[in-house]
Chain A
Amino acid sequence: MSPAEQSPSALTFDLVTRCTTTKARAATLQLPHGPVQLPMFMPVATQASIKGLTPKQLEETGCKLCLNNTYHLGLKPGQETLDAIGGAHKLQSWPHNILTDSGGFQMVSLLELAQVTEEGVRFLSPHDGTPMLLTPEHSVSLQNSIGSDIIMQLDDVIATTSPDHARIEEAMHRSVRWLDRCIEAHKRPESQNLFCIIQGGLSLELRKVCCREMVARDTPGIAIGGLSGGEAKTEYCKVVDTCTGLLPEYKPRYVMGVGYPEDILVSIALGADMFDCVWPTRTARFGNAITNTGTHNLKNAAYAYDFQPVEEGCKCTCCRPPSEGGLGITRAYIHHTTAKETVGAHLLSIHNVYHLLEMVRQAKTSIIEQRFPAFLKAYFAKLYDGNKTKYPKWAVDALRGVGVDLMIEE
């Protein structure tokens, strides 16, 4: 297979600082709808809205890049409507950046009946059961209609936990071939950045081959895919570490589907820049508050009489006291409304999204100020209330591998 021509790019990547201990980096990514700071967490607006939040409320969390799902927008409102409206920015009145996935992941995760062939992903319409086919060309064409600032190639996603090595290898090679088709089909490279997706399951050898092949195709950014599917965290870290070691320094690296605070921070230390997950907003609907001391289920009866803010000291609109222009929402009030009134979900989504964005912002600042290792130690200490025996072994090991020993005090 021959590498495609050098892809045009609609972004610039300005490396600000490299952590002198870990592989972490801080960078500014200039995208068509404005600059974003890396590392960065990206909340997911599956169907062109973050569950119940207005674009202004999302903006207030500091979010400058959110995800839309190509699969969902392809079904509703559909490509024709998107073309008529003029894309997803215009649809949702979002002046900042949008990233779309390829739609392939939903095929596999939502539709157990999808079949992957060399042409594309064959599946049955969830509406009426008619057979349909999603090809790399369709996926790119849809994403061109959506107009997202970053678009993803269609990849052949196999669960990392699959025991079928031959199938994983086939999927990796197919993903490379599909990348070529995506590059070929991409109609707006001057305004939309196509990212490749490294596949290869948990096999480091396959991942290395895939990195080489895809880096040669010179896309504006690079994603590490197929992870976050229930694999052991140790394996996950090895894959991220291996890939970032082979990726060019001056391109953004996006690990798909990662959203737990510890996973994000360890991945930053391993050299990844961008993360997305539905978890903060989904878990908010079940009453789970993400805080620096862990995730608390505010539906639990213990919180019915807890009049502290959702997270003490948090600067989000929900937690900030009225004296600082916030709402001063208590855990008891979230308990009172969760699963009963939609505002309960709205308020907690504001907090959870803000919390993750702020955590990554603080990590970024610490990288720039060359105190990222200390930041990591403080974060884990707070999360586990200073009890080092509770630290997850995979995180301790992974961070040791990049020069940070959580077990040793600063």
Chain B
Amino acid sequence: MATSDQPDPLLSAPPSPFFTILKHSPTGRGPRIGRLTLPNRDAIRTPHYIAVTSRGAVPHLSQDNFARLTNISGVYVGLEDFLERASQRPPPLYELRASFPTPDSALRRFTALPDCTLCVLGARRTPPVTAPAANPNTESTVAVSTAVGFRHLSAADYAEAGETLGADIVVGLGDIPYGRALGSKRIEKATDRTINWTISHMKLRQQDRPQDPNQPKLFAPLLPVPCEKQSFYLDALTTDLEPSIAGLALYDLATLPDLPQPLTPLPLLAFLTPSTPQTLLHHIAQGVDLHTTALPTTASEAGIALTFTFPAPSIDPIAPHPLPLGHPLTAPENATSLTPLSSACPCETCTNHHKAYLHHLLSAHEMLGWVLLQIHNFSVLDRFFEGVRAAMDAGTFEEECRRFGEVYETALPEPGARGPRVRGYQFKSEGPGEAKKNVSRFKVMEKGREARSENAVAVSDSTAEAVKETEFAEKEGGNVGA
């Protein structure tokens, strides 16, 4: 890796103070350390993660807990979460915008996002629900999923919303066919559309408030194919559009190897839905700067407390390895454990609570279980990225990645708990006859009725002594008064 005091074209190239590359490899590719700076926001050292929101909140983290008990420095918001009323009237978020003098942020106020937190806006959630074949993107619209079903969002509307809702970074609209491959004919179409949409978005920005320092940074989407297959679009980006593009949005790692040199100084924001720390490390190694990820949320909803660290701990020859990436707190050994979720973790959950409480909350299906796990799991991810940057600084990143792979298991443990109810905007229906996504919790009465008819005689004939056998009714149970 080159250090920042060596004169080299990549480090001195970007004059924009928005993103500074502090350290990169001699080839200009691969892992790098950077800094993202915006007025009024906390600076973000990259590589770092961007937390994914749902309907304006990081799941299970009420905004007061988000502000006080996490160090999440940036969030990603999908505009489609706010559009379900759009067919009748401008969505509430847009109307709220009208009540603010610029440059206040309607999005930030509506979702009570702290002022110091970076806010990235895109059209779709990540990962998005795949659009039905009947609702494809068109020349001027993309299919988006709302709480009341799929609808079309026009490129013009999106650009306007992106410019005015008050996000810090707007991901430009691309013709990304989530969940479907781009055939060669389709790529041409996608390239043309994305060029048109990007040019129109640029024009809007220039008309609107060209000199406004609060104008959001525009990230150009890269189509999920190698660069050679979208060269028209990338040529347009590098020749005409580049000065007003502040970053790139990545949807497939295949785009990276032949990324044109003029685009490499731009910050790279990935929508790759990494599900393990190993995948994150792989993306980091490919040079991704900002990683949208729902990894902590997925783990929390599965009842798993993440425990991995970077660098990985030294392997104890006696302890069994590979080590797990996390612990399912539903496991019975946690029931009476008064130790924190993971030792030496400074998070609020580990400071104030213990495994036994989490075990109880998860088995009782109490919402607070997911809250406390989110606080812990995001804290684990914070330290993971800190560790990654420190290793890059020290020049040990590659070695530590290799060791991480040796020390840890490759997947998260099996979910130990049934998570929260799944909502329609979180999955795609597979059609008629599909299994219920949410298990009905209340069947006790019916079962009880059956059991009663079977046991009716036994109950009425039995004495208290005969029935004092289970935990609740045990007469001399436990160590009472000890």
Q: Which residues of A are interface residues toward B (Cβ below 8 A)?
A: 47-57, 71-72, 74-85, 90-93, 111-113, 115, 119-120, 122, 124-126, 128-135, 137-138, 141-142, 144-145, 187-188, 304-305, 307, 317-318, 322, 327-330, 332-333, 335-337, 340-343, 345-347, 350
- The docked-state distance in angstroms from the alpha carbon of A51 to that of B352 is 18
Q: Is the CB of B467 within 8 A of A131?
A: yes
Residues of A within 8 A of B353 (CB): 93
Q: What are the interface flags for B343-371 relative to A under an 8 Å C-beta threshold, 1 for contact and 0 otherwise?
A: 00000100011101101110110111011
Q: Is the CB of A188 within 8 A of B451?
A: no
- A119 with B364, Cβ < 8 A, contacts A145-B480, A333-B111, A342-B60 known: no
Q: Is the CB of A122 within 8 A of B459?
A: yes
Q: 7 tightest A-B contacts by CB? A: A129-B451, A187-B481, A132-B473, A52-B367, A84-B336, A49-B368, A346-B62
Residues of A within 8 A of B459 (CB): 115, 122, 124, 131
Q: Is the CB of A135 within 8 A of B475?
A: yes
Q: Is the CB of A77 within 8 A of B481?
A: no
Residues of A within 8 A of B60 (CB): 52, 342-343
Residues of A within 8 A of B360 (CB): 47-48, 76-77, 81, 91
Offer 13 A-B interface pairs, CB within 8 angstroms, sorted by A.
Answer: A51-B368, A52-B62, A76-B364, A77-B335, A79-B472, A85-B338, A93-B357, A129-B450, A129-B455, A133-B467, A317-B64, A328-B112, A337-B56
Distance of B90 from chain A, by nearest CB (Å):
9
- A340 with B147, Cβ < 8 A, contacts A93-B353, A133-B464 known: yes
Q: Is the CB of A49 within 8 A of B481?
A: no
Q: Does B275 contact A (CB under 8 A)?
A: no
Q: Which residues of chain B (64-113) have a CB below 8 Å from chain A?
A: 64-65, 82, 85, 89, 92, 95-96, 99, 109-112
- The docked-state distance in angstroms from the alpha carbon of A382 to that of B214 is 44
Q: What are the interface flags for B438-482 relative to A under an 8 Å C-beta threshold, 1 for contact and 0 otherwise?
A: 000000110111111011001100101001111111110111111
Residues of B within 8 A of A125 (CB): 470, 472
- A57 with B64, Cβ < 8 A, contacts A113-B448, A327-B112, A328-B112 known: yes
- A79 with B367, Cβ < 8 A, contacts A49-B361, A327-B112, A328-B112 known: no
- The docked-state distance in angstroms from the alpha carbon of A350 to that of B368 is 13
Q: Is the CB of B448 within 8 A of A135?
A: no
**B side interface size, CB within 8 A:** 75
From B353, B420, B472, name the one whose CB has the most chain A CB atoms within 10 angstroms: B472
Residues of A within 8 A of B447 (CB): 129
- The docked-state distance in angstroms from the alpha carbon of A48 to that of B363 is 12
Residue of A nearest to B90 (CB): A305
Q: Is the CB of A75 within 8 A of B366?
A: no
Q: Is the CB of A305 within 8 A of B95?
A: yes
Distance of A327 from chain B, by nearest CB (Å):
4
Q: Is the CB of B467 within 8 A of A122?
A: yes
Q: What would 13 more interface pairs be, CB under 8 Å, given A138-B472, A336-B82?
A: A48-B361, A83-B478, A91-B356, A92-B357, A93-B353, A122-B459, A124-B459, A132-B473, A133-B473, A141-B478, A187-B480, A336-B55, A340-B425
Residues of B within 8 A of A187 (CB): 480-481
Q: Is the CB of B63 within 8 A of A145?
A: no
The contact of B62 among A122, A305, A328, A350, by CB within 8 Å, is A350
From A48, A57, A304, A342, name the one whose CB has the most chain B CB atoms within 10 angstroms: A342
- The docked-state distance in angstroms from the alpha carbon of A28 to that of B147 is 49
Q: Is the CB of A132 within 8 A of B470?
A: yes
The contact of B470 among A52, A56, A130, by CB within 8 Å, is A130
- A83 with B462, Cβ < 8 A, contacts A48-B360, A49-B361, A126-B448 known: no
Q: Is the CB of A124 within 8 A of B478?
A: no
- The docked-state distance in angstroms from the alpha carbon of A56 to that of B375 is 14
Distance of A324 from chain B, by nearest CB (Å):
13
